[in-house]
């Protein structure tokens, strides 16, 4: 018995996540250095896995892809920070 084949992508990007990463602000970190954290994004709040980036604190900015934080954003580094941080609700630029 073979496993079912995944749907084939017919466009230039993944149909699940559009091959994009988004910026998120940590609201409620996990109790340990790994696990799920509540974050604020431009579309609201969601839980994401932060095990790849290690310990996070409220206010930290992370880069999220497919429900997983894949990197940290240093707000002091203009090249790494999003051009318009006002996209995060309740966050002043």
Domain at 57, CATH number: 2.30.30.140
Q: What pTM was estimated for this model as a whole? A: 0.64
Q: In this structure, is residue 67 part of a structural domain?
A: yes
- Domain count along the chain: 1
Q: How confident is the model at residue 78 (pLDDT cuts 50, 70, 90)?
A: very low
What's the pLDDT score for residue 51? 92
Average pLDDT over residues 85-92: 47
Q: In this structure, is residue 6 part of a structural domain?
A: no
Q: In this structure, is residue 52 part of a structural domain?
A: yes
The residue behind tokens 């604020």 is 40
How far apart are alpha carbons 55 and 53 in whole angstroms?
A: 7
What's the pLDDT score for residue 44? 92
Q: In this structure, is residue 32 part of a structural domain?
A: yes
Cα pseudo-dihedral 70, 54, 49, 3, rounded to 10: 70
Q: How confident is the model at residue 18 (pLDDT cuts 50, 70, 90)?
A: low
Instruction: Please give the residue range of the domain that contains residue 70.
Output: 22-87
Q: In this structure, is residue 80 part of a structural domain?
A: yes
Q: Name the β-bridge partners of 46.
A: 39
């Amino acid at each position: 018995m073979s496993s079912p084949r995944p749907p084939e992508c017919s466009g230039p990007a993944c149909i699940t996540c559009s091959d994009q990463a988004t910026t998120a602000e940590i609201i409620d970190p996990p109790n340990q250095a790994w696990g799920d954290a509540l974050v604020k994004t431009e579309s609201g709040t969601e839980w994401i896995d932060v095990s790849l980036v290690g310990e996070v604190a409220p206010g930290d900015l992370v880069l999220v892809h497919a429900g997983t934080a894949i990197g940290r954003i240093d707000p002091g580094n203009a090249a790494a920070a999003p051009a318009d941080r006002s996209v995060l609700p309740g966050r002043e630029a």
